[in-house]
Amino acid sequence: MSFKIEKKDKKTKARCGVFKTEHGKIKTPFFMPVVTKGIAKFLTLKNLDEIKTQCFISNCYLLYLKPGKEILKKAKGYHNFINWKKPIFTDSGGFQLKNPQFFISMSDKGVWFKSPFDGSKHFMSPEKVIELQNIIGSDIAMVLDDMQDANLSKEVYKKATDRTIEWAKRALNVHKNKNQLLFGIVQGGVYKDLRERCAKEINKLKFDGLAIGGLALGESKENMYKAIDYSLKHLDEKKIKYLMGVGSPEDIIISVGKGVDCFDSIYPTKMARHGHIFTRKGAINLKKGSYKDVFDPIEKECDCSTCKNHSLSYLHHLLRLDEPGVKILLSIHNVRFLHRLLEDSRREIEKGTFEAFQKKFLKDYKKRD
RNA sequence: CCCCUCAUGGUGUAAUGGUAGCACAAAGGGCUGUAGACCUUUUAGAAUCGGUUCAAAUUCGGUUGAGGGGA
């Protein structure tokens, strides 16, 4: 068993533990930044290492397009290619179904994608995606799922749910790499019956971890939280749970309380690029003129290099000038913020005080400007 | 002293008599398994006085101001 729960919170369903992978152990709960093509946007791997990123997620389909599997083979694997010694997840490419720049068509056999680089067509099946992730050599591979955008008709999600279950079985059949863990994904939109059926079916299969996908795409928060509950209810408590794509501080802390162990999202980096910064007292829009003469750091208690070295006034100044470098500084803070949030959550779970911590966080995390 | 050119939101600029448009700036909002460092909403304008005209940013005259040239 790759996942070991160390402590369970008594008042909520939160837990903390250790997740063992080929490239080392990860303390849960944890957040993964998105490193789609071998680097995060405006963050180098060194930056990630410095803010104590335990693990990140890359994209199988994008890496297959460039640099391509021949280069990755010659480089002796992706870890070696990018020089990252810690664990790596790879997403299958299922998320790119949502993007018209990538998606062409799909059937039960698989998906036709196009390359945004040159327009060329590529067929991805559940089996091929496993083969590619095997070549990449990620510690954790994700199955190819049928992820539909939010707020479509129930028929669409029913079809996608059936296909996701079928593809999960096919992926498992061809997955032979003992050094690589494989996660299944629960779909079903916001529908109780679909989520529950999908969770039960995915839970029956021999996956190393279980993911909840297809959320935070534009459905209401209420529906999202319900869909998480419907899914988790039927998933093996002992297995690690991954809520895909969720990255707002409130959603993360709420989901930890529901029993989610890991998260990935572009949210902190995208928000940082747009000048929206996380603080324990809520997200702030640093572009606002009111920050022009505030000489405090973003957060006095934050241990990131941006908070240690720079004032809101300085960061505001750079942001107003649209200097690219400020996107690095702010991305460092936002990602570190989520890491700290989960490190603190873990500490509180260990102490048995997670519920109070969660309550306080949610109370304080209100827009302050 | 004379001549020429010019004067449009905070800034820079379009429109030749008939709806003052654009960009940036400013003030909001959004962003959740990344080709968007992006998208979106709002605010805000004819130097000044007079004439011609149904109608003037646009034409004519005065004033003021800016730039250039000549004695």
Residue A336 lies inside a defined structural domain of this protein: no
Q: 3-state DSSP call for residue A76?
A: coil
Residue A279 lies inside a defined structural domain of this protein: no
Residue A280 lies inside a defined structural domain of this protein: no
Nucleotide nearest to A92 (CA to C1'): B33
**Is A261 noted as a catalytic residue in this protein?**
no
**Is A264 noted as a catalytic residue in this protein?**
yes
How many Å does it take to go from CA A326 to C1' B43?
Answer: 28
The single residue of A9, A208, A251, A264 carrying the catalytic annotation is A264
The single residue of A9, A49, A91, A303 carrying the catalytic annotation is A91
Nucleotide nearest to A320 (CA to C1'): B25
Beta carbons of A183 and A210 less than 8 angstroms apart = yes
pLDDT for res A94: 87
Residue A253 lies inside a defined structural domain of this protein: yes
How many Å does it take to go from CA A292 to C1' B15?
Answer: 38
Residue A115 lies inside a defined structural domain of this protein: yes
Block residue for tokens 């998606």: A103
- pTM, to two decimals: 0.93
Query: Per-residue pLDDT tens for A67-109?
Result: 999 999 999 999 999 999 999 999 999 899 989 889 999 999 9
Count CB atoms within 10 A of the CB of residue A154: 13
pLDDT for res A123: 95
Question: In chain A, which residues have pLDDT < 70?
Answer: 367-369
Cross-strand partners of A285: A276
Task: Specify which residue's alpha carbon is closest to the C1' of nucleotide B38.
Answer: A274
Protein-contacted positions of strand B (CB under 7 Å): 25-39
Q: 3-state DSSP call for residue A22?
A: coil
Number of domains observed in the structure of chain A: 1
Residue A126 lies inside a defined structural domain of this protein: yes
Residue A170 lies inside a defined structural domain of this protein: yes
Beta carbons of A191 and A148 less than 8 angstroms apart = no
Residue A273 lies inside a defined structural domain of this protein: no
Nucleotide nearest to A263 (CA to C1'): B33
Q: What ipTM does this complex have?
A: 0.91
pLDDT for res A368: 58
Give the residue numbers spanning the domain of A213. 3-265
How many Å does it take to go from CA A88 to C1' B67?
Answer: 65
How many Å does it take to go from CA A282 to C1' B16?
Answer: 55
Cross-strand partners of A298: none
Nucleotide nearest to A62 (CA to C1'): B35
Look at residues A112, A116, A104 and name the one whose alpha carbon lies nearest to residue A65: A116
How many Å does it take to go from CA A247 to C1' B40?
Answer: 23
CATH number at residue A176: 3.20.20.105
Distance CA A261, CA A298 (A): 28
